[in-house]
Amino acid sequence: MTGDGARDGAVPGALPSTEVPALLGTAACVVDDRGVIVAVNSLAERLLGAAASDLVGGDAHDLLHRDRHGQPLARSRCRMEEAVLARRACDGRGWFRRGDGTLTELYWLVTPCAGEGGRTATMVIFYGANAEAPGGQKPDLDRTTLSELDRLALLAETTTQLTSTFDSEEALRRLVRLAIPRLADWVVVDLITEVDEVERTIVAHHRDGVPFLREDLQGPMPPVPAESPMPLSRALRGAASTLVTPATYQGPPDSGVAIEQRRLFAATGMHSAAIAPIRGVREVLGALTLGRSDRPDPMSATDLSLLEDITRRAGVALENARLYQRQRKVAETMQRHLLPQLPSVPGLQMAARYLAAPDASQVGGDWYDAFTLSDGSTALAIGDVVGHDLDAAAGMAQVRSMLRAYAWTHREPPGTTVNRLDESVVPVAGVSMVTLVFGILRRTEEGGWHLSWTNAGHPPPLLVTHDGRTRFLTEGHGMLLSTGLSPSRTEAGVVLPPRATLVLYTDGLVEARGRAINDGMDRLRRHAASLAHRPLAAFTDLLLQRARPTRSENDDDVAVLTLRTPEHGGSATD
């Protein structure tokens, strides 16, 4: 250890660098809770070919860890980085950059330790690929037999990881990360589809610390024979779990499934594997295979028992995900049937889109409407009934139908129509909160288009001219519906310029967590201006794609109604 240099660079609260060599007779460094190196010993300096002064203060991941080609590893896929930040014990094998730029392959062991003053610190111990650990033993990194405590911890983690998502693809990705390299070198998932076909969904291998998909081995599988005694066929029928080797499939194949299995073993180099059925409560969903090719020890009966525990949890998670997806499809069908077809109005183009909340039941209270009135004018509406469930969708349908009835029957100005709706929305529809923009579009004597509207607590419409000028129609704004206050509604009017685009939208297009709604409206305005020359359908699709907040920022549903005036006729003045 070049003690003084490392000592001077140590972070207060970390393990003192002078204590490192007293702890172990092997290469070691200490990092703080940010992953920054705060101490190294002389053995680590020699092994890594760098002085302590060049290592202390540097980020351990950025400075040292590489893939086999010398490229930096993604932090999100680095087990060593994950273990350091989580302060949990973990071991592995990887490539590290020496001081002269060359690569060296090392075993590593991460273990939490105490820093000065009780602060957090983590020790990383390095062994050369042919080195011995203290006590004369090689690091036992190929050992896959877990202790009972480790096994229970893995099963608990599996339950948490798989049951915390209703996305079946995400559940499978998590399953792969749980299994390799902790239990096996390969993970193979075969799933039975809803039309009773078998799909080899995942073939994943552990490479450079991250799972790597072998897409050439994935895809549709042959039908499962009803009487085949071969392991995968039996597992896909829900029969039994089995330990297998390449010799299992060396005889004459009894089916197409056996041929694919022979191809799998040949391509992956697996010398041992365990196969278990994935069972749901109601049916067999598929099979999970864990295989070893790099590790010399074969899969054992203990591994098979653990695999069965894992597949039981995977079966529950996948079945729940499938049931959820079916519910989403049913709800989406219901939602789309509730939303109207746009009318055909000579001279006008119209487009509408609805995007469900990504994490909800695929229905909600956002809605749009456009319909022709008895005097030939066109009614436009965009609204939001609070909620993201079937109740919200049902309330939305009632509010929309009531608005249509009032507008058609009474043929009154928009404010008067919305006043009638406000008086009846709670006792009749039973909804607790509604926002709404309702407008009527009429031809002018000059052949243009005049819009009159009222706004009940809803984000204002956006008007975009063909040359990209924009303004929000903030006039005519009043209180939302269902407050019980029966306010007097104001109205506003504007003559739409030729080739102008009017955008009616719900708040899911502009609201984002942690940002003011004005920021979202400004983003909408800028994107709408840049797309003003696009055809209306493309304008609408791209506006949704670009202006809508990300899933992490907002999980609300979105409704958008756009219309565009013809090239000739009309006035640009209010």
Domain chopping of the chain, boundaries: 3-128, 148-327, 339-564
When mean pLDDT is compared across 365-374, 414-423, 426-435, the lowest value belongs to 426-435
**Secondary structure, 3-state, 232-285:** HHHHHCCCCCEEECHHHHCCCCCCHHHHHHHHHHHHHCCCEEEEEEEECCCCEE
Phi, psi angles (nearest 5°) of residue 126: -115, 140
Q: Tell how far CA 158 is from the center of its chain.
A: 19
Residue with tokens 């039975």: 192
Q: What is the mean pLDDT of the chain?
A: 81
Whether omega before 12 lies within 30 degrees of 0, making that bond cis, reads no
pLDDT of residue 552: 65
**Has residue 12 got a pLDDT over 70?**
no
Residue (of 163, 169, 167, 187) closest to 177 by Cα position:
187
The matching CATH number, chosen from 3.60.40.10, 3.40.1130.10, 3.90.550.10, 3.30.70.930, for 339-564 is 3.60.40.10
Query: pLDDT-derived band of residue 417, with 50, 70 and 90 as boundaries?
Result: very high
Query: What's the mean pLDDT in 43-71?
Result: 88
Characterize the bridge pairing of strands 558-564 and 349-355: antiparallel
Q: Point out which residues pair with 493 in neighbouring strands.
A: 452
Q: What is d(CA 289, CA 64) in angstroms, rounded to the nearest whole number?
A: 34
When mean pLDDT is compared across 259-273, 329-343, 410-424, the lowest value belongs to 329-343
Q: Which helix (H) or strand (E) holds 366?
A: strand 366-372
Residue with tokens 């071969």: 230
Q: What is d(CA 437, CA 457) in angstroms, rounded to the nearest whole number?
A: 8
Does residue 120 or residue 375 have the better pLDDT?
375
- Name every residue whose Cβ is closer than 8 Å to that of residue 79 and which is 6 or more positions away in sequence: 90, 92, 209
pLDDT of residue 126: 82
- Name every residue whose Cβ is closer than 8 Å to that of residue 369 and which is 6 or more positions away in sequence: 340, 379, 380, 381, 382, 400, 403, 404, 561
**Has residue 63 got a pLDDT over 60?**
yes
Residue (of 474, 415, 462, 443) closest to 560 by Cα position:
462
Residue with tokens 């309330």: 395
**Has residue 297 got a pLDDT over 60?**
yes
pLDDT of residue 261: 92
Q: In what order do the strands lie in the sheet with 501-505?
A: 349-355, 558-564, 501-505, 462-464, 470-472
Residue type, 253: P
pLDDT tens for residues 319-372? 888 877 776 676 666 666 667 789 999 989 999 998 876 654 455 678 899 999
Given a contact cutoff of 8 angstroms between Cβ atoms, the answer to whether 449 and 565 are in contact is yes
In CATH, the number for domain 148-327 is: 3.30.450.40
Residue with tokens 């896959």: 144
Helices 148-163 and 168-179, axial angle in degrees (round to 10): 160
Residue (of 281, 273, 283) closest to 189 by Cα position:
273
DSSP-derived secondary structure for 501-535: EEEEE-GGGT--TTS-HHHHHHHHHHHHHHTTTS-
Instruction: Pull the structure tokens for residue 524.
Output: 């909408």
Residue type, 194: E
Which of 97-111, 175-189, 517-531 tops mean pLDDT?
517-531
Q: What is d(CA 243, CA 235) in angstroms, rounded to the nearest whole number?
A: 11
Q: What is d(CA 41, CA 129) in angstroms, rounded to the nearest whole number?
A: 19
Give how far Cα 113 sits from Cα of 33, 124, 403, Å: 11, 10, 67
pLDDT of residue 331: 64
Cα dihedral 97/101/102/106 (nearest 10):
-10
CATH H superfamily, domain 3-128: PAS domain (3.30.450.20)
Does residue 388 or residue 215 have the better pLDDT?
215
Residue (of 523, 393, 378) closest to 452 by Cα position:
378
Q: Tell how far CA 247 is from the center of its chain.
A: 41
Instruction: Pull the structure tokens for residue 25.
Output: 């007779």
Could you tell me where the DSSP H helices lie in 56-147? 60-64, 79-86
CA angle 98–101–103, rounded 5-degree value: 60
pLDDT tens for residues 547-564? 998 766 766 789 999 999
Share of the chain above pLDDT 70, in %: 82
CB atoms within 10 A of CB 217: 18
pLDDT of residue 21: 40
Query: pLDDT-derived band of residue 260, with 50, 70 and 90 as boundaries?
Result: very high
Q: What is d(CA 188, CA 176) in angstroms, rounded to the nearest whole number?
A: 9
Residue type, 526: R
Q: Point out which residues pair with 30 in neighbouring strands.
A: 39, 123
Query: pLDDT-derived band of residue 391, with 50, 70 and 90 as boundaries?
Result: low
Instruction: Pull the structure tokens for residue 164.
Output: 């915390």
Does residue 361 or residue 440 have the better pLDDT?
440
pLDDT of residue 146: 62
Residue with tokens 């003559």: 495
- Tell me if domain 148-327 and domain 339-564 are identical in fold: no
Helices and strands in the chain, H and E counts: 15, 24
Q: What is d(CA 523, CA 525) in angstroms, rounded to the nearest whole number?
A: 5
When mean pLDDT is compared across 113-127, 485-499, 537-551, the lowest value belongs to 113-127
- Sign of the four-CA dihedral 142, 144, 148, 149: positive
pLDDT of residue 134: 41
Q: What is d(CA 257, CA 232) in angstroms, rounded to the nearest whole number?
A: 8
